[in-house]
Structure 1
Amino acid sequence: MTAASAPRDEARAERPARGVHQYLALVIGIVYLLVGVVGFAITGFDEWTVHDHSQTLLVFAINPLHNVVHLLIGLLGVLLWSRSASARTYGWILAIGYGAAFVYGLIVVDDPEANVLNINGADNVLHAASAAAGLLIALWPARRATGRTTPAARAGA
């Protein structure tokens, strides 16, 4: 090992391994980010709160406002996944936000005046699943310390 590579190796050894909950946050973030971008290709940028179930992405009803929500949720996932604590925060945001969206959707699904996000039954199922995924991310068990030491620590460096 050269002197120049020693600080890099020590920094790599000190960085904790990423957990499943972090990668789940990243994947969910990327998916929602893509859904938001593709959603605008379908809805365009007019009539932000239109209630039009013919505007769908697969079976999910969308409108421009709904696309913005997807973009924000996706961006948060991409920004917060890299640290365990921030990934857990993202999990709570998903659980609470999509839990609330699920309840809201149950109330407004048949009320075009109140349904500003153009939510349909398929959206409600996805929102419930996203809330459950958020709980999974937030409550994923923490990694236990293995007690292993790095070669530098064993050498007394």
Structure 2
Amino acid sequence: MTTPIASAEKKETVRSPAQWVTLSYAAVFLLVGAAGFIPGITTGYDTLQFAGHHSEAMLFGIFQVSALHNIVHVLYGLVGVALARSATSARHFLLWGGVVYLGLWLYGLIIDTDSVANFVPLNTADDWLHLGLGVTMIALSFLRRESRHARSIR
């Protein structure tokens, strides 16, 4: 029999490895998206465009960014936080997010960086980052659904 006091106690939240990884990626996406709007962290900030390859703003002096690029990172981070609530949705975020990043990597390899097709904008550093993100996110989507702690308390 459960007493009212015991039932009022909060249950311990146990997150799966996939949920922790998703929260980590989401936090980085949020930080990077916000950093893209901070002069100094983003060099050439005065050249920041909403979209397109004419933006010469460079996050950390390496990655070409635009306002659209930064907004997408923030939105990606918010989606990651929301999907980290369950192990299954966290794994889907990692898997499908990784697929999207591999698609961006291929897109960056195919397009001419000086063309209007480069609306994101992308440069070589972005391409390598997108490859790394795509591969690691897909690989990490195969993490266990449960934490070891969750299995041991059953």
* TM-score, with length taken from structure 1: 0.78
Q: CA deviation at 1:110?
A: 3.0
Aligned equivalent of 1:152? none
Paired residue secondary structure (1:102): helix
Pairwise CA distance, 1:52: 3.8
Q: Please say which of residues 43-52 and 26-35 is displaced more in the overlay.
A: 43-52
2:32 equivalent to 1:35: yes
- Between the aligned partners of 2:48 and 2:138, the Cα distance in structure 1 is 34
Which residue identity does 2:6 align to in structure 1? A
Report if the CA contact (8 A) 2:53-2:113 is conserved.
no
- Cα distance in 1 between the residues matched to 2:75 and 2:47: 16
CA contact (8 A) 2:48 2:65 kept: no
Match of 2:89 among 86, 89, 92: 86
Write the distance in 2 (CA, Å) between the matches of 1:142 and 1:109: 41
Q: Normalized per residue, which structure has more helix?
A: 1
What letter matches 1:117 in structure 2?
V
In structure 1, the residue corresponding to 2:75 is in which secondary structure? helix
Specify the alignment match of 2:144 in structure 1.
Answer: 141
Per-residue Cα deviation, 1:9-57 (whole angstroms, up to 9, x for no partner): 5x626x5x21222111001101111111121234579732231463111
Which SS does the other structure have where 2:11 is aligned? helix
**Runs ≥4 residues deviating over 6 A:** none
Larger Rg: 1
Task: Say if 1:137 and 1:44 are closer, same or farther in 2 by CA, change over 3 A.
Answer: farther
Aligned mates of 2:124, 2:55 — CA distance in 1: 11
Match for 2:75 among 61, 72, 77? 72
Question: In the TM superposition, what whole-angstrom CA distance separates every residue of 1:107-151 from its partner, at most 9, and x where no partner exists?
Answer: 1253332111110111111111111232133211333774654xx
CA RMSD of aligned residues (A): 2.7
The answer to whether the Cα contact below 8 Å between 2:49 and 2:55 also exists between their aligned partners in 1 is no
Match for residue 116 of structure 1 among 106, 116, 119? 119
- Which ranges in structure 1 are unaligned for 5 or more consecutive residues? 150-157
Map of 1:155 onto structure 2: none
Question: Are the counterparts in 2 of residues 48 and 65 from structure 1 also a CA contact under 8 Å?
Answer: yes
Q: TM-score scaled by structure 2?
A: 0.79
Q: Tell me which of 126, 129, 136 is aligned to 1:126.
A: 129
Q: Identical aligned pairs, as a percentage?
A: 30
CA contact (8 A) 1:21 1:136 kept: no
